[in-house]
Amino acid sequence: MNRRLKTLLIKTKRQVFSEMIGNNPSIFHGEGYDFSELREYQVGDDIRKIDWTITAKLRKPYVKLFHEERELSVVAACMMGGSLYFGTRRIKQEVVAEVAAILGYSAVKNGDLFTGAIVDTEVRRLEKPTKRLFSVNRFVEGVDSASVLGRRADYREGLHKLFKRLKRRSVLFVIGDFLSPVDLALLAKRHEVIAVIVRDRFEEHPSPLGQVHLVDPETGATLQTHFAQKSAAAYRAQVIESDKALYRHLRKHRIRFVKIHTDEEPFGRLVKLFGGRV
């Protein structure tokens, strides 16, 4: 394990075990529950628990009630493709590893089961569920050191193969840059899926670069081109349209998501996602 990763793990462990906000030890709200019954909506109920099918049939809002299970199954699926080997502050791959460490440490702290997965077009690695810090460290090191150049993260086929291998209903974090076409519908039917989008600001807001030599990190294809203001604007417009389609897909399947840039602290962004509890 290199010194940079050791420093990252020490910092992340301190954040999770020393800086946790709130007294409730359950961090992944909304999962780890068995269905109990339906009842009519009352003021103060979580609107995410509304059963819209029953509500439409009865013309009154109804919510699902659950019994809490003793432990959660938390899965971090790291989508490892060549596009992660990019970043102006630090490469996206390092941020993906840090997010996985935060989730793994948080699960262990709460006494929940943590499973790490490395996915591209295949499920390259699927750890056994664990409550041990050593196993979390080993998985994060695997994510940080994974060879991503020449590989493509497949958010459709790769994740469909992961679906077949996950037997237990879980809180499933899909972590990647989401620059490829996405289909999380199947996963969302069985699991509570949360998308963690890792991006570099430059790839969303590129500046004109003039004459450049570009290399596709997934295929190795090269291109000599003049990347001027017009090209930057066209690229930016394409990213915006792609992200609009991504957000529509996530909202359609009621998937929570958060975007973390390479110049941001992942811990703070995840705390905000969970309303002060990570």
Structure tokens at 111: 């006494």
Mean pLDDT by 10 residues, the chain (278 residues): 90 83 43 61 78 83 68 93 94 97 94 95 95 96 95 95 93 96 94 96 91 87 90 92 96 95 94 70
pLDDT at residue number 142: 96
Radius of gyration of the chain (CA): 20
Contact 100, 92 (CB under 8 A): no
Long-range contacts of 200-204 (CB under 8 A, 24+ apart): 200/86, 200/87, 200/88, 200/89, 200/92, 200/261, 200/262, 201/88, 201/261, 201/262, 201/263, 202/88, 203/86, 203/239, 204/236, 204/239
pLDDT at residue number 31: 44
pLDDT at residue number 250: 96
Amino acid present at 169: R
**Which CATH code for domain 3-24+70-273?**
3.40.50.410
Q: Is the pTM here over 0.75, yes or no?
A: yes
pLDDT at residue number 28: 52
Burial 163-178 (b: 16+ CB within 10 A, else e): beebeebbbbbbbbbb
Structure tokens at 224: 């000599």
Contact 158, 122 (CB under 8 A): yes
pLDDT at residue number 60: 86
Amino acid present at 217: P
> Could you tell me the residue ranges of all domains in the chain?
3-24+70-273, 33-68
